[in-house]
Amino acid sequence: MLSEAIKKHKIILASGSPRRQQFFKDLGLDFEIRLKPVKEEYPFRLKHFEISDYLAQLKALPFKEELKEGDILITSDTIVWHQNKALGKPLDTQDAFAMLKSLSNTTHEVITSVCFTTTTYEKTLNDITKVTFKELTDEEIMYYVDQFKPFDKAGSYGIQEWIGQIGVTKMEGSYFNVMGMPTHLVYKALNGIVNELQNP
């Protein structure tokens, strides 16, 4: 079991997201939370998963010099890819409304990238989930934005919240990925990393 094999290592989760922290608790893993501010900017030329890969790796940079042998740093980023552009976190109520209006009655992709960093190497993986919304009314969008204030969420929504319950009609891929962490891939990757570190 991973929870036993990984006891010789320290998992450092560089995320203030309560959802991501809960995922690691649910996986039965001991971890430490470390936070450092990072300006989430990326080169304009990047597209699709290149953006979230870049940002996940960018978030690891401030920690690299302080990592010790046995440490496994985990950083991640989630974007919504729609109509050939990335939707990040909304700036305000108006921006959140516009984002959800654009997602209404269409299919978009949610991409989460996870970067694993140790003292000797770095590995980044990503997962893509396709999400389809019904046609959302202006009243439904405003109710959701006013009541749930999704300003910390890429694409202005949390699938686990009211808008997901009443609005999502189809999904292809991992539900947990849409929430911000492809847990099945993270579990598999950590198993691989532990085996590599223990059997170099």
Give catalytic residues, as residue numbers. Answer: 77
CA distance to 13, 65, 93, 118, 192, per residue, from 33 (Å):
5, 17, 30, 16, 22
Rounded Cα–Cα distance for residues 120 and 1 (Å): 24
The CB-side HSE value for 44 (13 A sphere, CA atoms) comes to 0
* Closest-CA residue to 114 (of 184, 182, 174): 182
CA distance to 1, 18, 100, 152, 162, per residue, from 75 (Å):
23, 14, 27, 17, 28
End-to-end CA distance of the chain: 20
* Closest-CA residue to 193 (of 81, 91, 109, 71): 71
Burial class (CB in 10 A: 0-12, 13-18, 19+), 13: buried
What residues does 13 pair with on adjacent strands?
33, 74
Rounded Cα–Cα distance for residues 5 and 24 (Å): 15
